[in-house]
């Protein structure tokens, strides 16, 4: 019997929830994650990787569950002192969190790859699910607004996603090289799951890394996307604004249009079941099920069902 190989493309809180669900499922030993690094930025001279850290803290049960990011039992003495010194402190970095960023920055200065740094941080927090990076190069998501071009963190955290989105770019993407680990994982995948993450800036940034999307298209894997929308609304974050800026509808059709070149199936919430017929007309298999993952049980249940549906549908297609 061949070993099952599952890849999860993940970004943001939705990606971390999906990762937690798979980590607690029967499919944990078969799963590897490819995370988003395009939200990364520099603060106070330190390199911060929000999406990767949210993955690590969530899988290591160190996340602040109430806010969905940062460490639990956190203090903010360093930030308070920086504020007293007149520094910009809109990016909330706790004292424990800062240790992560100091460690990462020191290793980067020593020439250690971001993939290796991620592995060391994951090990520190007892994370057993492998986290791969799409690239070790610096790629930064930038958002064009009425205030001009902003980094994603400026738009997301400082401006609270309030500004209209005119355009989005991934700075440095043209020269970015994919990691061999990510390409090999995709090539050997039986099932590729796209987490309910922002399709434009979280998953979109991963797919924009040269060779990554082509690798998925040529992989032969069964690709299934979990929609981040429930009742045509985002659970968290600015995916609706991002979809609109890209000229896509804020519904299942808009999500489909982001992934249609390689997609086999979509998972949509019961509130969106009216989209089922249209999605099936595009040749997709459709799983309609509650997709809001609040409790650990809901995360595990949903992600187990996603894998089971993918495997059953794949078998049916092969018959």
DSSP state letters, 81-150: HHHHTT----S---HHHHHHHHHHHHHHHTT--HHHHHHHHHHHTT--S-EE-SBSS--EEEEEETTEEE
Nearest C-alpha neighbor of 73 from the set 104, 94, 50: 94
Read out DSSP for 249-301? -SSHHHHHHHHTTT--EEEE-GGGGGGHHHHHHTT-EEEE------SHHHHHH
Residue 97 C-alpha from the chain's centroid? 19
- Gap between the Cα atoms of 315 and 319, Å rounded: 6
Nearest C-alpha neighbor of 45 from the set 5, 11, 78: 78
pLDDT for the residue numbered 1: 39
Q: b/e for 238-272, b at 16 or more Cβ within 10 A?
A: bbbbbbbbbebebbbebbbbbbeebbbbbbbbebb
Nearest C-alpha neighbor of 268 from the set 236, 230, 302, 304: 230
In a 13 Å sphere around the CA of 86, the CA atoms on its Cβ side amount to 0
Write out residues in the chain with pLDDT < 70, as ranges: 1-2
- Gap between the Cα atoms of 170 and 126, Å rounded: 32
- Gap between the Cα atoms of 58 and 174, Å rounded: 31
Taking residue 5's Cβ as centre, other Cβ atoms within 10 Å add up to 17
pLDDT for the residue numbered 2: 59
- Gap between the Cα atoms of 198 and 228, Å rounded: 7
Contact of 98 with 46, CB cutoff 8 Å: yes
Angle, vertex CA 201, rays to CA 310 and CA 215, nearest 5:
50
pLDDT for the residue numbered 318: 84
Nearest C-alpha neighbor of 218 from the set 188, 256, 174, 178: 188
pLDDT for the residue numbered 241: 84
Q: Could you give the domains of the chain? A: 6-136+173-318 (3.40.50.10680)
51: Cβ contacts below 8 Å, ≥ 6 apart: 10, 11, 12, 15, 35, 36, 37, 39, 202
- Length, in residues, of the chain: 319
Residue 33, strand partner residues: 8, 131
Farthest CA pair distance, the chain: 67
């Amino acid at each position: 019997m061949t070993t099952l190989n599952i890849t999860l493309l993940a970004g943001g809180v939705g990606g971390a929830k999906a990762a937690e669900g798979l980590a607690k499922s029967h499919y944990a030993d078969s799963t590897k994650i490819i995370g988003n690094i395009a939200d990364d930025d520099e603060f106070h001279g330190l390199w911060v990787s929000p999406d990767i850290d949210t993955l690590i803290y969530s899988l290591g049960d160190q996340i602040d569950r109430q806010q969905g990011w940062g460490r639990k039992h956190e203090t903010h003495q360093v930030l308070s002192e920086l504020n007293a010194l007149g520094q910009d402190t809109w990016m909330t970095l706790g004292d424990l969190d800062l240790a992560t960023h100091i460690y990462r920055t020191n290793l980067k200065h020593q020439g250690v790859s971001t993939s290796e740094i991620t592995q060391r941080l994951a090990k520190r927090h007892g994370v057993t699910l492998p986290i791969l990076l799409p690239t070790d190069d610096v790629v930064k998501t930038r958002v064009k607004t009425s205030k001009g071009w902003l980094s994603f963190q400026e738009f997301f955290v400082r401006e609270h996603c309030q500004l209209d989105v005119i355009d989005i770019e991934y700075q440095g993407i043209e020269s970015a090289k994919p990691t061999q680990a990510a390409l090999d994982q995709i090539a050997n995948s039986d099932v590729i799951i796209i987490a309910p993450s922002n399709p434009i800036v979280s998953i979109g940034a991963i797919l924009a890394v040269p060779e990554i999307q082509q690798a998925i298209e040529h992989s032969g894997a069964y690709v299934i996307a979990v929609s981040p929308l429930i009742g045509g609304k985002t659970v968290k974050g600015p995916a609706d604004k991002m979809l609109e800026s890209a000229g896509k509808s804020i519904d299942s059709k808009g999500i489909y249009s982001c992934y249609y070149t390689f997609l086999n199936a979509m998972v949509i919430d019961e509130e969106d079941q009216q989209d089922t017929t249209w999605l099936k007309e595009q040749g997709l298999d459709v799983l309609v099920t509650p997709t809001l993952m609040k409790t650990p049980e809901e995360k595990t249940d949903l992600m187990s069902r996603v894998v089971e549906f993918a495997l059953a549908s794949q078998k049916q297609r092969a018959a």
